[in-house]
Structure 1
């Protein structure tokens, strides 16, 4: 590799008028004093080339080689010896395929990289390479085609870096991720099976309770009847918990392809579905220009169904419920994962009891509740399901609230 010196200029010297040379020197000295710039005399070409090659030879973090047009190694630096293990005397004059595993040699990978460098000017590749002692390292290689002044190929430069530590770290992360995914799938299957198997004995408990309570001629005192009623209520809560757990598991395992979902139509259907509940609290839903998105219809319906149920549950006493759902098209926020693009920002607001802002993340955790079951019934899974649905659609959901003034949920879905 010879440095480009085409832009360098030497200072003019008038060899025909030596008498004027002292004046030039004086002027140059004056200029140095005025500008504070120290002029450095350019080295002759042979000295500069020598210095350049010495610099290359001393580099230890990279193997920097010159190859001839046939791929024969022409030089060797300290980095090459450190990374590959060969001395200069052992390797110069041999073909660079020696660094590649036998499998890569059989598939002619070295020759393919040379051909790519000729065609494209440069070939970049990462893969396993072989040291002199037979051990492997993960090398990042750049082969660049070199031309003379007449644009004829005169050889190639080859720069290699040992990235084995990075590769091993990445592989550990990959293995750990795959292990977690396997364990997660097993836990999901266990949760689904356990919840499903609990349904039958629970149904029998509810049935037997109901038979006893409705039995004719069975005289129960107030305390005994209270016990049975509380047992029936507990069984009902357990039934709801099982149903919610199954719903959460189904979302996690969902792999159905996306399709177009008209959210405006979905919310119209939900408004009809909740009509009786809204009428009981003099409630109104205002839905403004929701988009058509790519998603799984029943999951997106469940997301908004849970949010509406949440607003109805946590409404303020003697205050008509107001729910506003609107959408805008925005640039994807920097804190969302993925490539920059457009997102639908859907804002869901109500005028319920609200919550303190430092609980904004806690409310999305499974089984986390800000109120007791006596105050507000539920299992604490509804908002966890909402977040899971948003994430399964490559989006996200965030909450904000203020006690006594209501809550809002910001949903971001990719366009």
Structure 2
């Protein structure tokens, strides 16, 4: 005969069930957080049984529960005896569905063989392996770190599960970025090659019509100079002057474009000898302008000899070009006393610092950065010759030598260029001592 429960009885039973559920939840929480060390369970057939938790001391259990990695304990059959909340969160399932399940039930089919190897080896020695576990709507890439534990009920296998999702995302992003950089580098190399080819072809193609302009202009000037009105002679001279500037500019552009290639031919270079060669080349010009040059004890460094010579040639040429008409030009080229030497055990490479200064017209300090820009001119082309590329070439060469160059000046009080260069280059250098040029005196006479 069915007994119909009253509303009050149902309310009372529901309250009792709620209390029992709350008590069970508190007990489980106490076990997982280490608040109890033993349990007494009333078994109908065996009576009261005492279950100790000696091996899971409170500090250890609290640590396991609070850690950011998943942590589980397996028996010899791979059944999960214990799991922290983080592992359940990784799987996106309740903790109650984790404990008591076999760990391999959360391993995708394609990783089952790897997990079996890990599980077997883990009983012998500490082992790590990357694979994946299955969550509700996908896979979680992770690293499993396994080690054995000796519990009261026997040996168990401790497994720490580290979520590698963020790491894998970063790795994939880095791979994508690296691939994109390789593509960009390939595109830049192809573009640079095309630009170099264009500069070379354009320079050669422009030279021919320019050469004809100069030839025919000079022919007109030499044959019919007396027949030309004064205005026509001035215009013809401007044609010749502009053509000469054009030729110099084409040559400078070609030289600038070539600096991007074949720049690994370094050798031992004596900077003093290089400067002396330049002074010999400029001997007539120096005598005409009565230029005085003072040279200090310049060091020997590893460099591309032809290119480093062009650096000093451009700077000396600039100092001559922008000298004052009412004052004897003076150019000083000296090493700075702070030249660094190699320190034993130091990773820093020794460097040298060279100062090239003059007493010329100088320039406004506001232009000290722009002065190295391509085609940058601070003075009128009618009064001072040049293409505006010389200092850009100078800076590019210094950069290629892993050095720096800095310009400072006060308008009307001369200019100073500071060059800092490594004594040795981080490339395979052709270290040939060059002794073909003899050492000269500190002052080159006008």
TM-score (norm 2): 0.62
**Cα deviation digits, residues 156-175 of structure 1 (max 9, x gap):** 96756424347536434554
Following TM superposition, by how much is the alpha carbon of 1:257 offset from its aligned partner in structure 2, in angstroms? Answer: 2.3
Q: 51, 62, 79: which is aligned to 1:51?
A: 62
SS of residue matched to 2:374? coil
- Tell me which residue corresponds to 1:230: 238
Following TM superposition, by how much is the alpha carbon of 1:195 offset from its aligned partner in structure 2, in angstroms? Answer: 1.5
- Greater shift in the superposed pair: 384-393 or 171-180: 171-180
- Tell me which residue corresponds to 1:329: 339
SS of residue matched to 1:329? coil
Higher relative contact order (CA 8 A, sep 6+): 2
- Tell me which residue corresponds to 2:390: 382
SS of residue matched to 2:381? coil
Distance 1:272 1:324 in 2: 16
Structure 1 unmatched ranges of 5 or more? 1-43, 333-338
1:267-306 equivalences under 5 Å are 267-306=275-314
- Tell me which residue corresponds to 1:369: 377
Tell me if structure 1 keeps the 8 A contact 2:108–2:132: no
Q: How many residues end up aligned between the 2 structures? A: 335
Distance 1:122 1:344 in 2: 54
Distance 2:141 2:384 in 1: 59
Q: 287, 312, 315: which is aligned to 1:307?
A: 315
Distance 1:351 1:122 in 2: 74
Tell me if structure 2 keeps the 8 A contact 1:86–1:132: no
Following TM superposition, by how much is the alpha carbon of 1:291 offset from its aligned partner in structure 2, in angstroms? Answer: 1.4
- Compared with structure 1, are the counterparts of its residues 93 and 241 closer, same or farther at alpha carbon in structure 2 (3 Å cutoff)? same
Q: Does 1:401 align with 2:409?
A: yes
Distance 2:219 2:85 in 1: 89
Tell me if structure 2 keeps the 8 A contact 1:390–1:396: yes
Distance 1:73 1:403 in 2: 85
- Compared with structure 1, are the counterparts of its residues 229 and 345 closer, same or farther at alpha carbon in structure 2 (3 Å cutoff)? same
Tell me if structure 2 keeps the 8 A contact 1:138–1:167: no
Distance 1:298 1:282 in 2: 27
SS of residue matched to 1:252? coil
**Cα deviation digits, residues 51-78 of structure 1 (max 9, x gap):** 111122xx3xxx667899xxx9999888
- Compared with structure 1, are the counterparts of its residues 136 and 168 closer, same or farther at alpha carbon in structure 2 (3 Å cutoff)? farther
SS of residue matched to 1:387? helix
Tell me if structure 2 keeps the 8 A contact 1:73–1:95: no
Following TM superposition, by how much is the alpha carbon of 1:341 offset from its aligned partner in structure 2, in angstroms? Answer: 3.3
Q: 184, 187, 191: which is aligned to 1:183?
A: 191
Tell me if structure 1 keeps the 8 A contact 2:106–2:133: no
Q: Does 1:342 align with 2:350?
A: yes
SS of residue matched to 1:253? coil
Following TM superposition, by how much is the alpha carbon of 1:229 offset from its aligned partner in structure 2, in angstroms? Answer: 2.0
Q: 246, 249, 263: which is aligned to 2:254?
A: 246
Following TM superposition, by how much is the alpha carbon of 1:132 offset from its aligned partner in structure 2, in angstroms? Answer: 6.2
SS of residue matched to 1:412? strand
- Compared with structure 1, are the counterparts of its residues 76 and 241 closer, same or farther at alpha carbon in structure 2 (3 Å cutoff)? farther
- Tell me which residue corresponds to 2:428: none
Structure 2 unmatched ranges of 5 or more? 1-54, 151-156, 424-446
Distance 1:289 1:388 in 2: 25
Larger radius of gyration, structure 1 or 2? 2
- Compared with structure 1, are the counterparts of its residues 92 and 129 closer, same or farther at alpha carbon in structure 2 (3 Å cutoff)? closer
Tell me if structure 1 keeps the 8 A contact 2:149–2:158: no
